[in-house]
Amino acid sequence: MASQRATTTELFSWFRNHEDLRLFIGPTGRLFVSLPFNGHPTILPVDSRSFALFVFREFYRETKKTVTRASICRAVKMLFGEARSIGLQVSPVYIRVAPGRDGEIYLDLNNSAGDVVLINRSGWEIIKAPIVFFRPAILDSLPKPEPGGSLDVLQDLLSLPTRPWQTALSFLVDALQPGDYRPGLMLTGPEGSGKTLTAYFLKSLIDPEKPRLTDFHPRNSIQMAYLAETCWVVLLDPVFRIPAWLKYCVEGLMRGGWRVSRRGWEEVCFEDARPVIIAGRELPRIYAMDLIKLPPREQSRPPAELERIFQEIRPRVLGALLDRVVDNLRTERR
């Protein structure tokens, strides 16, 4: 006997009665929900395959009826519409870094235990996440930071002189600070100056990614919004030129919003801010981005050896960076 197919109204009622379901909205207006997975609340996009499979399984287990992906999207949109009409708050989606109510900062380690780092004026500590983070598959986990480290070892690894290193360090600290504006960093220099490795290590210290299946280089504002929605630090490398649309998007990313596209009469905007790193040869400077010009280097150690050293020192370097963020929070209080 064939299974019955549920109506959108039946699925909507099922969502309303699901106590663990929470509503979120992404920076481009994309809809998200939070449901328990493997003992931890997990945020999933409504239009994702993972969320559809969860609903297919759970709804059929409880009702013995099937649903379609189209009916799932319609039912969730009805749920969001009802929440807004009665004044319920739809939470923003946080990825890697989230602000707290009292000025504290949460850094998501993205591990299976659900650990985050709480950073406030008293110091930092590892706790269980009180905030639900969006964790795209491309995000990699951070190691647990360790106290007693030094940032000087990262400077030695990158072979950066004092002034460029201070600029890079300011970028890292500001990338974790609360606020509506995010920092930008441009790395330029001739071939063999270490632009790619420097950009990679700076990003990986606070927002590592798993290797992408292909090199993804956004070619328009829509692709840029997709990239920014799946990471915290947006890395663009290599960049050979900066067309007008790219300059517009990068400036919008740092200040917290730009118009992505237009669908009929509706404007689609990216309403969030991201730290940005751009690496390339001789590039025109983008307003409000710090610039580091890297000189030619003599032959250095192989990239594989540098990567091994970076992984060894990363827990203590991350701990030292968090100490610097704590110092900044204390200074701002004064």
- pLDDT tens for 271-292 read 889 999 999 988 888 878 999 9
Q: Where in the chain is the domain with CATH 3.40.50?
A: 139-333
What pLDDT does residue 36 have? 74
CATH T-level fold of 139-333: Rossmann fold (3.40.50)
Distance CA 318, CA 276 (A): 19
Most confident of 23-37, 83-97, 106-120: 106-120
CB atoms within 10 A of CB 173: 18
Q: State the pLDDT at residue 276.
A: 96
How is residue 209 annotated by DSSP? Answer: B
Q: Is the CB of residue 268 less than 8 Å from the CB of residue 29?
A: yes
3-state SS, 20-47, equals CCEEEECCCCCEEEEEEECCEEEEEECC
As separate numbers, helices (DSSP H) first and strands (DSSP E) second, the chain gives 9, 16
SS3 107: strand
Which whole-number Å values give the CA distances from 263 to 33, 222, 259, 267, 268, in the listed order?
24, 12, 11, 6, 7
Per-residue confidence band for 7, with pLDDT thresholds at 50, 70 and 90? confident
Q: Quick one: pLDDT at residue 1?
A: 46
* 3-class state of residue 103 by DSSP: coil
According to the model, what pLDDT value does residue 14 have? 87
Q: What is the DSSP-derived secondary structure letter of residue 273?
A: -
pLDDT band of residue 86 (cuts 50, 70, 90) is low
Work out the average pLDDT over 320-332: 93
> Could you tell me the pLDDT band of residue 98, with boundaries at 50, 70 and 90?
very high
The reported pLDDT for the residue numbered 152 is 96
Residue 5, helix vs strand vs coil: strand
Average pLDDT for 258-274: 75
Q: Which of the two residues, 31 and 290, has the higher pLDDT score? A: 290
Between 102 and 165, the more confident residue is 165
The mean pLDDT value for 176-199 works out to: 90
Beta-sheet strands, E only, within the chain: 4-5, 22-25, 31-37, 40-45, 65-66, 91-92, 97-99, 105-108, 115-120, 123-128, 184-188, 234-239, 258-263, 266-270, 276-280, 290-293
Q: Identify whether the C-beta of residue 46 lies closer than 8 Å to the C-beta of residue 33.
A: yes
Q: Name the residue among 331, 270, 318 with its Cα closest to residue 96.
A: 318
Token duo for residue 151:
């940032």
> Which one has a higher pLDDT value, 324 or 4?
324
Distance from C-alpha of 141 to C-alpha of 12, rounded to nearest angstrom:
35
- Once rounded to an integer, what is the mean pLDDT over residues 259-281? 80
pLDDT band at 131 (very low <50, low <70, confident <90, very high): confident
Q: What is the pLDDT of residues 196-206, one digit of tens each?
A: 999 999 999 99
Q: Do strands 22-25 and 4-5 pair parallel, antiparallel, or not at all (unpaired)?
A: unpaired
What is the amino acid identity at position 55? V
pLDDT digits (tens, 9 = 90+) for 291-301: 999 888 776 77
pLDDT per residue as tens digits for the range 48-78: 888 888 888 888 888 888 988 888 888 888 8
> Which of 201, 128, 113, 102 minimizes the C-alpha distance to 159?
201
Please, what is the average pLDDT of the chain? Answer: 87
In the chain, pLDDT over 90 holds for what percent of residues?
A: 44
pTM for the model stands at 0.88
Nearest to 69 by CA among 152, 129, 17, 8: 8
Residue 89's pLDDT band (boundaries 50, 70, 90)?
Answer: low
